[in-house]
Amino acid sequence: MSPCAGCHPTGGSGGSAPYPDPACQELRQAAARRFGRSERQVFIGNGSDEILAFSFAAFFTPGAPVLFPNVTDI
């Protein structure tokens, strides 16, 4: 049997969760300690697209026009 058989993410808690913690609690705590902030001031996202999507949902009114520069991924 392969030594990797049965390996899976545990969510950092040593449990048997099939996926990591979606709130990234341990990472948020570590980043907050490292940069001298509270956990409430740390936002963890899965890439810039997700962070921007959450930001637009939080700060802009649905249906209202939003102006932004034409950004390209070079």
Mean pLDDT per 10-residue section of the chain, whose length is 74 residues:
52 62 92 96 89 88 84 71
pLDDT at 6: 52
Question: What is the Cα 10 distance to its own chain's centre?
Answer: 17
Q: Which residues 6+ apart lie within 8 Å of 25 measured at CB?
A: 12
Q: What is the pTM of this model?
A: 0.55
pLDDT at 48: 87
The number of CA neighbours under 13 Å toward the Cβ of 29 is 6
pLDDT at 69: 80
How many other β-carbons are positioned within 10 Å of the β-carbon of residue 51? 13
What is d(CA 60, CA 54) in angstroms, rounded to the nearest whole number?
10
